Amino acid sequence: MKWIDMHCDTLSMLLEEKAAGLVRNRLCVDVERLKEAGAAAQFFACYVNAADFFGKSTVRKTGIPWDRAYEKVLDMTVYACREENAGFGIARSSEDILRMEREKCIAGILTVEEGGVLNGRADRLDELYNRGIRLITLTWNHKNCVGSPNSRERNEMEKGLTPFGIETVERMNELGMIVDVSHLSDGGFWDCIRYSKRPIAASHSNARALCPHPRNLADEMLRALGEKGGVVGVNFYGAFLRLPGAGEKASGRADITVIVRHIRHMMDMAGEDAVALGTDFDGFDIESLPKGIEGVQDMDALWDAMRRAGFTERQIEKTAYENVMRVLKECIG
């Protein structure tokens, strides 16, 4: 089965492991296993945690620490490009992905997970685009110059994008970058629906109706995202998957059927053209993955589980590959 995953944190992990590389490593994702598992492309997040740069001080929307975080993002883009070889390349367009498929080459799509690294400077969007970034997750878990993250506090959750955040969405549309609402507040989500002229993505989020975590999307959000022509990538993290009352133990790994339930619900709400993969591999420890999945080498287990649950081959192909490719063509060209 040919597939594309919209989110992994492998790059940020590898930057700390000097002996490892993208071709082969002990993490959940590497090029060799992506090839063996039938992958066409993998989104690689250049992720930074602002708290690492602010030290003991409170994370603020702007400031010099954000500039240091930005430099780390640039380091990750350099690292990824240095890893290019005959079997792996950085894709800057949907045509690049299709060409690499023909060449039996894994396409890497670079993203930024933390829009705060812009630090209020719109020119950084152009630099990131020139570095190969084709998606930006507008927030992580901290307020930034773009907007506010998801929160269990209602007042925070209702906050929308900042004026600079709206400018950022509009400029991303112009450049050809996907606007990613995973981690964003509900108010920020609705602003993206309002201001983006192109489809948006929730690269690694699940259904809030099945798991009431603020990181997941409510049914009305899923419907709006589908109507916008966007896509939501199902996340494999146990804390975003658990279905209360399903009879599963509070501890231990979730069953793969829980992923399938989220896919079914998201299809019911957003439509079968709006659901994709956003595994979040290497964004948490392996023990938080569902049973039977240790990394990209185990993706066949998901397709088999979807078949057992009654999904058609067409629905599986859309989830695995076609829905993301459509959004890539519409957003990045």
pLDDT digits (tens, 9 = 90+) for 99-146: 999 999 999 999 999 999 999 999 999 999 999 999 999 999 999 999
Output the DSSP codes for 51-91. Answer: HHHHTTSPP-SSSHHHHHHHHHHHHHHHHHHHT-BTTEEE-
pTM above threshold 0.75: yes
Residue with tokens 């996340």: 235
- Per the structure, how many domains does the chain have? 1
Which residues constitute the domain of residue 71?
3-331
Q: What is the pLDDT of residues 192-206, one digit of tens each?
A: 999 999 999 999 999
- DSSP strands (E only) in the chain: 3-5, 39-47, 88-90, 106-113, 133-137, 178-180, 201-202, 231-234, 275-277
Show the DSSP H helices in 103-251 as ranges: 123-130, 154-157, 163-175, 186-195, 219-227
Write down the pLDDT at residue 252: 72
| CATH number of the domain within which 251 lies | 3.20.20.140
